[in-house]
Amino acid sequence: MDTAQIMGLVTGILFGFLLQKGRVLRFEKQVGAMLLKDMTILKFMLSAIMVGMVGVALLADAGVIALGHKPMNVGAIVVGGALFGAGWAVMGFCPGTSVGALGEGRWHAAFGVAGMLAGAALYAELYPLMKATVLSWADFGKIGLPETLGVSPWVVIIVFIAVALGLFRWFESRGL
């Protein structure tokens, strides 16, 4: 293994450990969030984002790390995002959690993994068609929300954290 592979493996083990400890790898947690009955994965994701966005902004401000926005390609995000949402609801796992679920013995996740491998191969086959259609509609490129709104990243971060904390209070008061 080269350095990159070792670093990926170590990071992945820690990531998988935390995903499992947070109990977000379960089918019922994923579907529970989409049925608005159990907000565990939202609590987990928003907590990770809140902490991560502060650190990323500080390191990026200092010029230590680079930001790597994914393109705001409208067709790709809207159509692809909708397809993902629909498939996610039926499968009950997202790509990362499916592999984690296998690790905690939920072997039915393997069917989803097999489907996702097939879906990736299918996308590779149809990529030229996608490029000529959905991907070519409107691409705003790699943009961040702060510069799009013309504000400091910290404004976005403070608003985001305030909204997330408000949601947490609401989840807890409703026992979600």
Partner 1 sequence: MQANRNDGGWSPYLAGALVGVLAILSAYATTVWLGKTTYLGASTTFVRGAGIIEKQVAPERVEANEYFTKEKVRVDWQFMLVLGIFAGAFIASSTDKSFKLEGVPPVWRERFGPSVGKRAAAAFLGGVVAMFGARMADGCPSGHGLSGMMQLSVSAFAALAMFFGVGIVVAAMVYGRRK
Residues between 50 and 109 that touch partner 1 (CB under 8 A): 50-53, 55-57, 59-60, 64-73, 76-92, 94-109
- Interacting residue with partner 1 among 36, 129, 162, 163 (CB under 8 A): 36
The reply on whether position 167 binds partner 1 by CB under 8 A is: no
CA angle 163, 31, 24 (to 5 degrees): 70
**Backbone phi, psi, residue 139, to 5°:** -120, 115
33 neighbors 22 (Cβ within 8 angstroms)? no
Minimal distance, residue 170 CB to partner 1, in Å = 14
CB of 48 or CB of 162, closer to partner 1: 48
**Interface positions, 125-164, toward partner 1 (CB under 8 A):** 125, 127-128, 130, 134-135, 140, 142-146, 148, 153, 156-157
To the nearest 10°, the Cα dihedral for 92, 85, 10, 4? 140
The reply on whether position 120 binds partner 1 by CB under 8 A is: yes
Tell me the longest C-alpha to C-alpha distance in the chain: 49
